[in-house]
């Protein structure tokens, strides 16, 4: 919230009470609770009373019940081998029975996309939606996955300045320590190749991409 009390630091400027900012803070408090899964939360009472040379502030919040994940559904994984499907399903941190938070939901699509890319699906796309039942405060999560084609690494190409201090074949040798033609694509292999080339100690920056 924007409203703050005086600082312990003696040279800090004195904060002045702004009633407009205080009312906006009431909405921020409710919004924070909602982001943590308490969609019924509301400020039921707030008080501003004079005290000494300032004001004392009191806020009373009714949290309500948290929204619990009741079901997690995956769509679009049927074309993958069973062990791949299990890896993707296990990649998410959200579990049935947990409180549905906005941070947790934001991480789900990212986790599933990363899991698919780690299996070679370089163009994987993941969409999703959440259905919240307000009568019993439960949520159903649905993830729609489009894995796309599974890719293998091909040839390595190097782009340098006009007068590179290291011959291109030496750069390729370093990259091939983690990226070998014919291997399945993975972000981890790209990151390792980037690290190996950078550790040659002759480049200010290295970017390995597909």
User: Closest Cα to residue 178, out of 202, 199, 204, 197?
Assistant: 197
What pLDDT does residue 148 have? 94
Q: Which two tokens stand for residue 185?
A: 């694509």
149-161 confidence digits (pLDDT tens): 999 999 888 777 7
Q: What is the widest separation between alpha-carbon atoms in the chain? A: 76
User: Closest Cα to residue 186, out of 156, 159, 150?
Assistant: 150
85-101 confidence digits (pLDDT tens): 999 999 998 899 999 99
pLDDT less than 70: residues of the chain: 164
């Amino acid at each position: 919230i924007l409203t703050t009390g005086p600082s312990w630091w003696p040279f800090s400027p004195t904060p002045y009470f702004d009633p407009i900012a205080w009312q906006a803070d009431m909405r921020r408090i409710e919004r924070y609770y909602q982001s943590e899964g308490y969609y019924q939360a509301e400020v039921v009472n707030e008080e501003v009373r004079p005290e000494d040379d300032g004001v004392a502030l009191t806020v009373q919040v009714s949290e309500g019940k948290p929204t619990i994940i009741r079901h997690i559904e995956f769509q679009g994984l049927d074309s993958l081998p069973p062990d791949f499907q299990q890896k993707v399903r296990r990649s998410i941190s959200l579990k049935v029975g947990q409180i549905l938070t906005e941070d947790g939901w934001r991480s789900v699509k990212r986790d599933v996309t990363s899991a698919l890319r780690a299996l070679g699906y370089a163009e994987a796309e993941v969409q999703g939606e959440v259905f919240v039942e307000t009568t019993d405060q439960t949520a159903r999560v649905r993830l729609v996955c489009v894995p796309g084609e599974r890719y293998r690494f091909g040839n390595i190409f190097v782009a340098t300045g006009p007068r590179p201090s290291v011959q291109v074949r030496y750069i390729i040798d370093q990259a091939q320590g983690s990226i070998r033609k014919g291997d399945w694509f993975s972000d981890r292999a790209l990151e390792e190749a980037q690290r190996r080339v950078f550790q040659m100690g002759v480049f200010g920056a290295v970017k390995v991409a597909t």
